[in-house]
Amino acid sequence: MKKIDAVMKIFYLDELLTELFKDLYEKGLTNIYETFDCLKDLKKCAYVFLDPDVYGDDLSVHLTYVFEIGFAYDEFVDETVAKQPDMNEEMDSEDIIELCMSLADVECERYNIHGEWKEMGVDFKIADNKLIVDLIGELVGKDVSKTLHNYSSYQILDDDLREDLKAKLSETS
């Protein structure tokens, strides 16, 4: 997978999560989304590949309507690759593992915040989804739900997760 493709998948995932929380905004429950502050860190996973000089702080302005209008998506990708040609390079296994580890940290926090609310008797189905897990699975080419569950519930440590992701990635290579 090219770096630009991974970045766009993360931005799209961020868009999906924002859309899922939209009903809460409309009901005046923005503080619920604020509780899931970790989801704001999702974009940071994509920023790892982006040179800050390319879009700077106003990247979100450039992402407006990118996923709603086909030509806007293509223009954004073309402009990004033109400004930062290395985004067109294939990710190596280390890039993939580091990206997956960052995504796993976001998922771990999301999982635990969701669990805390559930223990208090409030189950936000909206926040109980597998979008991040599925993306990590796509990046390594294998189902990672069990491993990520173990990581999120502190049954395994960072090193164990990293080794598991490496093993899964090497199985698909």
Q: Which residues contact 12 (CB under 8 A, 6 or more apart)?
A: 67
Return the amino acid letter for 171.
E
Of 66-80, 122-136, 145-159, which gets the smallest average pLDDT? 122-136
Q: Is residue 111 scored above 70 in pLDDT?
A: yes
CB contact at 8 A, 33 and 25: yes
Give the three-class secondary structure for 8: helix
Q: Choose between 70 and 143: higher pLDDT.
A: 143
Angle between helices 131-140 and 3-20 (to 10 degrees): 170
Whether pTM exceeds 0.75: yes
* Contact yes or no for 150/156 (Cβ under 8 A): yes
Examine the pLDDT at 32 and tell me if it is beyond 90: no
Mean local confidence (pLDDT), 40-45: 87
Whether residue 58 is predicted with pLDDT greater than 80 in this model: the reply is: no
Q: Say whether 65 sits in a helix, a strand or coil.
A: coil
Mean pLDDT across 142-152: 95
Which of 54-58, 114-118, 127-131 has the lowest average pLDDT?
54-58
pLDDT at 138: 95
Of the listed ranges 25-34, 67-76, 86-95, 126-135, the one predicted with least confidence:
25-34
Longest C-alpha distance within the chain, in Å?
Answer: 50
State the average pLDDT for the chain.
88
Amino acid at 100: C
Predicted confidence (pLDDT) at residue 31 exceeds the cutoff of 90: no
**Which pLDDT score is estimated for 60?**
79
Q: Nearest 10 degrees: CA dihedral of 24, 27, 31, 36?
A: 0
Model confidence at 30, pLDDT cuts 50, 70, 90, reads: low
**Which stretches within 1-130 are classed as H helix?**
3-20, 22-26, 30-35, 42-47, 52-55, 59-62, 70-83, 93-119
- d(Cα 135, Cα 146) in Å, to the nearest integer? 14
